Amino acid sequence: MKSSKDPRHLRRIKAIKLLFQWGYQQKQKINDELALKVIDKVKKLDKIISQSAPEWPINQVNRIDLAILRLAIFELCIAKSDPPKVIIDEAVEIAKIFGSEKSPKFINGVLGAVLKKGDK
């Protein structure tokens, strides 16, 4: 993360907030292109999360962590617009802001597992 004012950082935070809300109200209207792209691939993303964190069923993952993971895995596996290290670092930093005390470690572990599986 370059700075809290970086446009990419702000775009990710906006998308994560919308994804978090969407997790509760899936019929809400979303006008954010990035969030819509993630929602369009949510089944595929959730399958990757389930495979990478098998001890955590999707319905038991903290909703903000789930929103962060969905966006980060979308960026890692589908969009591939930034280097993996940048995406993971950004996700962990956002987890420190919005998640619980354990969120950064959990996010890092899941994304590390996703990256490792992708390398095979």
The ranges assigned to domains in the chain are: 7-119
pLDDT band at 27 (very low <50, low <70, confident <90, very high): confident
**CB-based contact 38:72 (threshold 8 Å):** no
Which pLDDT belongs to residue 26?
Answer: 85
Is pLDDT of 119 > 70? no
Q: What is the pTM of this model?
A: 0.92
Per-residue pLDDT, averaged over 64-70, amounts to 97
The 10 Å Cβ neighbour count of residue 102 is 11
Q: Please give the CATH number for the structural domain made up of 7-119.
A: 1.10.940.10
- The single-letter code of the amino acid at 63 is R
Residue pLDDT, tens place only, 49-62: 999 998 999 999 99
Q: Any residues with CB less than 8 A from the CB of 50 and at least 6 apart, and which?
A: 57, 58
Which pLDDT belongs to residue 1?
Answer: 47
Can you list the alpha helix ranges (DSSP code H) found in 4-120? 7-24, 33-40, 42-52, 63-73, 84-98, 103-119
117 against 20, higher pLDDT: 20
Per-residue pLDDT, averaged over 6-32, amounts to 91
2 against 111, higher pLDDT: 111
